[in-house]
Every structure is written in structure tokens, then in C-alpha cells.
Amino acid sequence: MSEIAMFRTSDGTLMNVEMSGEGPPVVFHHGLLGDANQAAEEAFPADTGFRRISIEARGHGRSEAGDPGCFSIATFADDVASYIEKQIAAPVVLGGISMGAAISLRLAVTRPNLVRALILSRPAWLTQSAPENMAPNAEVGRLLREMPLEEGKEAFLGGSIGRRLAIEGPDNLNSLLGFFSRPPHNITAALLTAISNDGPGVTDAEVRQISMPTLIIGNDRDPIHPIAYAEGLAERISGARFVKITSKAESRSQHQADFRRAMGAFLKDLKAND
């Protein structure tokens, strides 16, 4: 059973935090427009001997949005760092999916004192900002700002990005279409625009200096999360463990089972090495 707590950031934004399990903390983040349920249901294995802590980013889940002008990977990372410093004993296992992986990568570089081990799943960034794979998210953000919802959805489906994803990334397409019905629409549009045009704010050289145990999870048939990014981070981070899992487009249930197996094995090895 999950526990819920609230945390107020330095600028007064109220954040929702969900926790489950017992043991050393694993601070594990959702992806863009996801929430704590994504971390719990899609990724986190049961009976690991670790405690999952998921901090819903500003404008996600039950967390307040605050000032949309502050939406950035750097701000989200600062919020996580503040929570770790004030609420739990560092260092912690830190990780996340997609945007959550970018937040975790940034903290591994900028605040390595907070990070015991690192889990980067389905990364959507290497080090550059506004990578081309994030263009579909940015396009949905633009359509939400400029068109009525149903017209925007139809325009996306009929456009070049929508037609391409229908073939190359049907799971990505389904997620993007769901964003058109995610309230409040102005916050959804702001998040899609800001984060799609952002990046982790680190360099390749800094990533190559990461020395903590690292698990990187990737899958193919996922144009928004290219497997080449997961492989690229595994190449840059010395000693990183790379695991390829089944894509959601092939089998959602197998994807979840593979994800939990990979993460569970990594956490088991961490515990054995304590």
C-alpha cells in the first residue's frame, strides 16, 4: 500500500510524494506528463528490500504547477535534491523513466553526493537540448495552444509526425493522443513545450565522469526514446549495466515484466554489495 506525503519547495510549490515498501530509499521518477503510478505500476519490482519514493514533478499528478515559467529539467532536479536533503539520508538510489532519467542524470552530474546508484530507463535525451525525438511532444504542445482540442488531435493524426508514429511507434502515438484530453490544457501545453525544448544541462565529458553503479534500460520500436540513446549513455558511463527489454509496442505486459526483472536484479546486487 502506498503512503502519500506533501513537500513544499523553496518557492512555495506544494509537491505530492508517494512511497511504498521498506528499506533504503530509491527515489524513482515518472516521465513527462506521467505520475507516481507510472513508476509504481510500470517499473518498480515488488519485494526488493528497498523503499520506493516518487516525487511528482510540478504540474504532474497531485503536485501543484506553480509558475509555468519555471518548468525545466533543472528546476525539477532542484526540487528532488531539496527533498532528499530535507527528508531522507543521502546518498540514495536515484532513477527514472524518460524525463525522470534526464532529471536523474543531471543530479548524478551536479549533485553526486546525493546519488548512491543510478537507474536510467528509456532515456529521451543524451546531453543536447531539444533533440529531434522530442518534436512530437512539442508539436502536441503547439496544437494545444493554437487549436480546439478535437481539431488539434485530428491535425496531429493527419500530420507527418502522426502518420510516421502510427507505423514506427504506435505506443508513443497512443500516449500523445491522450495528452489532448489531459487537464488543465494550458499546463499540459506548457509542460510539453518547455520540457521538449529543454535538456539535462550536462556535457558528454561530465557524463563520462559518472562513477556510481548505473543501470540503463532501453527498448526498440520507440521513436521518442531511441534505443541508441540508452546505448550511448551505457557507452559513456564506465561500468554501466545495459539491459534491452521488450518494447511496449510488442507487448506491454512483457515490457513491464522485463523492466521489473532488470531493476530487481540491479537492486539485489546493490544490496549484496552493501
Q: Are 115 and 106 in contact (CB under 8 A)?
A: no
Question: Domain end: 193, 226, 244, which one?
Answer: 193
Do 103 and 139 have their domain in common?
no
What CA–CA distance (Å, rounded) separates 243 from 14? 35
- Residue 29, SS3 per DSSP: strand
Q: Where are the alpha helices (DSSP H) in 88-126?
A: 99-110
Ramachandran class of 23: left when φ > 0, alpha when ψ lies in -120 to 50, beta otherwise: left
Do 52 and 166 have their domain in common?
no
What CA–CA distance (Å, rounded) separates 211 from 66? 34
Binned at pLDDT 50, 70 and 90, residue 2 comes out as confident
State which amino acid sits at residue 174.
Answer: N
pLDDT of residue 47: 83
Asked which of 27-36, 46-55, 60-69 is least confident by mean pLDDT, the reply is: 46-55
pLDDT of residue 43: 83
Which residue carries 512511497 as its cell?
19
Strand partners, 4: 18
Do 153 and 22 have their domain in common?
no
pTM of the model: 0.97
pLDDT of residue 59: 98
Question: What is the CATH classification number for the domain harbouring 36?
Answer: 3.40.50.1820
Do 18 and 88 have their domain in common?
yes
Nearest Cα residue to 24 out of 84, 108, 97, 112: 84
In DSSP notation, 164-192 reads: HHHHH-HHHHHHHHHHTT-SSHHHHHHHH
Question: Domain end: 142, 158, 193, which one?
Answer: 193
pLDDT of residue 5: 96
Do 48 and 100 have their domain in common?
yes
Binned at pLDDT 50, 70 and 90, residue 207 comes out as very high
Do 207 and 264 have their domain in common?
yes
Backbone angles phi, psi at 191, to 5 degrees: -65, -45
What CA–CA distance (Å, rounded) separates 231 from 70? 31
Rounded average pLDDT over 253-259:
96
Do 24 and 93 have their domain in common?
yes
Question: What does each C-alpha distance from 176 to 33, 41, 62, 65, 222 come to in angstroms?
Answer: 10, 19, 20, 20, 13
Binned at pLDDT 50, 70 and 90, residue 41 comes out as confident
Nearest Cα residue to 195 out of 121, 124, 143, 110: 124
Mean pLDDT over each residue of the chain, to the nearest integer: 96
Do 100 and 138 have their domain in common?
no
Do 19 and 147 have their domain in common?
no
What CA–CA distance (Å, rounded) separates 238 from 210? 7
Asked which of 36-40, 87-91, 186-190 is least confident by mean pLDDT, the reply is: 36-40
Nearest Cα residue to 56 out of 117, 14, 110: 14
SS3 for 36-82, per residue? HHHHHHHHCCCCCCCEEEEECCCCCCCCCCCCHHHCCHHHHHHHHHH
Q: Are 173 and 222 in contact (CB under 8 A)?
A: no
Do 169 and 225 have their domain in common?
no
Tell me the per-residue pLDDT of 138-185, one tens digit each, with 9 for 90 and over. 999 999 999 999 999 999 999 999 999 999 999 999 999 999 999 999
Q: Which domain range does residue 227 map to?
A: 3-129+199-272
Q: How many helices (H) and strands (E) does the chain have?
A: 11, 8
Count structural domains, the chain.
Answer: 2
What CA–CA distance (Å, rounded) separates 112 from 91? 8
Rounded average pLDDT over 69-75:
98
Binned at pLDDT 50, 70 and 90, residue 53 comes out as very high
Do 182 and 124 have their domain in common?
no
Rg (CA), the chain: 18
Do 65 and 109 have their domain in common?
yes
